[in-house]
Copies of this chain bind each other. A is one copy, B any other.
Amino acid sequence: MSAMSWPAAVMLLTLLLMFYTAWQVGRARVAYGVKAPATIGNELFERHFRVQMNTLENTVAFLPALWLAAWYFNPRWAALAGAVWLAGRIWYALGYITSPKQRSRGFVVAGAAWVTLMAMSTWGIVRFVAGVT
């Protein structure tokens, strides 16, 4: 259980990133005068909104991969790849707000970390399903 605390800590920080991106959308609604339920009409608001949505969809694909890798491969290595993913997603969010073109690098870093987690998970699950415990 103790080693599982590392991916748990990464998950906790991921939730804080989600909260931060949602908070920024709320602030952008006020700053750029985009009233709910509208989500378009101002390009700077849309950047914040896309950051939130992209963070959301990537989080949904990330958290299960993090735990699969933790259970079926190794919790410490999974947490390390998860920390890289988190750093990439923060870089992505800050870059996108500056300019949509600057979202690429963080996106790629986080993507590579996700692929690593998926590879760990696949290797571990195939081993289990093949019964080669």
Q: Which residues of A contact B (CB under 8 A)?
A: 1-2, 5-6, 8-9, 11-12, 14-16, 18-19, 22, 35-40, 43, 46-47, 49-50, 52, 56-57, 59-61, 63-65, 68, 71-72, 100, 103, 118, 121-122, 125, 128-129, 131, 133
Contact = CB atoms under 8 A, between A and B. Distances in A.
Contact of A15 (B2, B15, B47, B118): B118
Copy total for this chain: 3
A2 B100 contact: no
Contact of A37 (B43, B59, B121): B43
Q: Which of A12, A103, A122 has the most CB of B within 10 A?
A: A12
A118 B74 CA distance: 25
